[in-house]
Amino acid sequence: MKKIIKSIGALALGAMVFATSSLSVLADEKSYTYNYDYWGDVQDSPDAYTVAGVYTAEAFGLDLNFKSPQGMFVKDSMIYICDTGNNRIVQLERTGPVKFEVVRIFDTIQGDTEVTTLSSPTDIAISEEGDIYISDNGNARIVKVDSDLNYLLQFDLPVDSTVSADSTFQPSKIVIDTAGRVYCIATSINQGLCKYEADGTFSGFVGATPVTFDWMDYIWKKFATQEQRVRMTSFVPTAYDNIYIDHEGFIYACAGGMEEDDLDNGDAAAIRKLNLMGSDILVQNGEWPVYGDLYWGEGGGYEGPSYFTDVTVFENDIYVCLDKNRGRLFGYDDQGKTVFCFGGNGNMDGYFRQPSAIEHMGHDLLVLDSLDCSVTLFTPTEFGSLIYSAVEDFDEGNYEASGESWKKVMELDGNYDLAYIGIGRSLLRQKKYEEAMDYFELKYDDENYSRAYKQYRKEWVEEHIVVIVIVILAAFLIPLSIGKVKKIKHEIDIADIFRA
């Protein structure tokens, strides 16, 4: 008897251990792509992107391996990669969905200039006319050449009272706007982006990050001696890490390495969208700030907030930030809501070792890894494509089509907040207010809910105006008339003529 009880107990215990362990395995298995919901909980999500290929120099058919490549630029089907360590630039053309051909490799330029070789090019940009701008870091210049590599112009150290004339100019990242103005990030210049006119003259700094400082440090500094003050950290703007100019001419600038506290209380922004005045106009209507991962606990040897090292902006205003710290990509829509998060550090396809640049070609994403010396090509999955078509349809005014796409997205992922809000917004445009309210309420979108409710309430009042007036009148008249009747009754009761 005892044995039976014991064996049953052991069986039950075994079953329990098995059950809990299988549960924990399920819980541990995180999907490659995830998303943050309203509460900031991580929600597993279907993949928005899959790896179409990982290309090393060999796969591209190059003679030399990449050596710590830093910059990348995409124009139409052309890809320019700055092979920084080899002092050259590789131009590739995408000839098929997963096929690339080398167009040319160049390390020299021609024309009327003293230095014709490139030295550690860190970034490249191509203007509408086809002129090539190269951030020639080792030669302390930004050089402008035409499409046949003939020297046209060069941009040197900014002439400004705040910049010491004998310091070396170290341009790292550049963008050019439609008017041919050059915006550049240079190492050791933290006054903002260096802005040059099309004719090569320096015209000022734009968009410096706001200075953040610690109050305790500030007070200490007040009491410190001159010598101590020199040793203390100075309160200066953080230099940007990378810039991107979108199709509307707004500059997206990302600055990694922000202090955790500053990010948390909103003093610092990981990414800024700069207008012509250099002020930040990035819309942050999401529940969570645009700074990548919400949880910065140590895991797998990585800690601290996401470090945005590059950003790229689609034509539909969704922008993708590249996190160097955990090797992840974060997509945000024009409202600052998370569209997708995926990636990680590692050696598998779709994981990175030290990602340094991201570009997009259509809806595809290209990520350059400077340590792995490879380019990873991501193509959107059905899920990703549906999100894009929903967003684009909405922007074009095809609200019903957008709603249909969002519904398909919701079928693929019922935990995808944007789908609910998307359906709601499409219904709102179709004047189906009551249905829209349901969708907004499910995902706690109070702004849109209020918009829908306001219309719904207005319609309701207009429809029931007769009933409302009757009710209000009744509320006033009935007590009044009751009082009147009682009074009359009372007068009748006490009237003399009825007293016999």
Residues that bind another protein (CB under 8 A): 38-39, 441, 444, 446-447, 449-451, 453-454, 457
Nearer to another protein, 47 or 287 (CB): 287
Tell how many helices (H) and how many strands (E) occur in the chain: 11, 25
Q: How far is the CB of 416 from another protein (least distance, A)?
A: 18
Minimal distance, residue 449 CB to another protein, in Å: 7
Nearer to another protein, 236 or 472 (CB): 472
CB of 431 to another protein, least distance (A): 17
405: Cα separation from own chain's centroid: 22
Determine the length of the chain: 500
- Nearer to another protein among residue 175 and residue 452 (C-beta): 452
Contacts 24+ apart (CB under 8 A), 192-195: 192/237, 192/278, 193/240, 193/243, 193/251, 193/253, 193/274, 193/278, 194/158
- φ, ψ dihedrals at 60, nearest 5°: -80, -15
Report which residue type is found at 38.
Y
Please tell me the distance from the alpha carbon of residue 71 to that of residue 135, in angstroms, as a whole number.
9
**What is the closest distance, in whole angstroms, from the C-beta atom of residue 411 to another protein in the complex?**
24
- Residue 441: CB minimum distance to another protein, A: 6
Q: How far is the CB of 427 from another protein (least distance, A)?
A: 17
Q: Write down the least CB distance from residue 453 to another protein, Å.
A: 6
Nearer to another protein, 42 or 361 (CB): 42
Nearer to another protein, 356 or 448 (CB): 448
Residue 235 structure tokens: 């309160």
Provide the minimum distance between the beta carbon of 36 and another protein in the complex, in angstroms, as a whole number. 14
In the bound state with another protein, the residue whose beta carbon lies nearer, of 416 and 449, is: 449
Written as six digits, the tokens of 87 are 């002092």
Distance between CA atoms of residues 143 and 124, nearest Å:
10
Residue pair 324/307 in contact by the 8 Å Cβ criterion: yes
Q: Which is nearer to another protein, 39 or 215 (CB)?
A: 39
Smallest gap from residue 387 Cβ to another protein (A): 25
- Rounded CA-CA distance 228/205 in Å is 30
Helix (H, G, I), strand (E, B) or coil at 183: strand
At 337, list the tokens: 């809501």
Q: Phi and psi dihedrals of 261, rounded to 5?
A: -65, -40
Which of 454, 487 has the CB closer to another protein?
454
Specify whether the CB–CB gap between 435 and 403 falls below 8 A: no
> Which is nearer to another protein, 10 or 236 (by Cβ)?
10
The distance of closest approach from Cβ of residue 460 to another protein in the complex, given in angstroms and rounded to an integer, is 10
CA distance 417 to 339: 9
- For residues 406 and 420, what is the distance between their CA atoms, to the nearest angstrom? 7
Could you give phi then psi for residue 253, rounded to 5 degrees?
-120, 130
**What sign does the dihedral 58-60-64-67 (CA atoms) show?**
negative
Q: How far is the CB of 19 from another protein (least distance, A)?
A: 21
C-beta closer to another protein: residue 240 or 453: 453
Please say which residue, 247 or 457, places its beta carbon nearer to another protein.
457
- CA distances in angstroms from 282 to 4, 150, 305, 416, listed in the order given: 69, 38, 19, 23
Strands, DSSP E only, in 179-332? 182-186, 193-196, 202-206, 242-245, 251-254, 271-274, 308-313, 319-323, 328-332
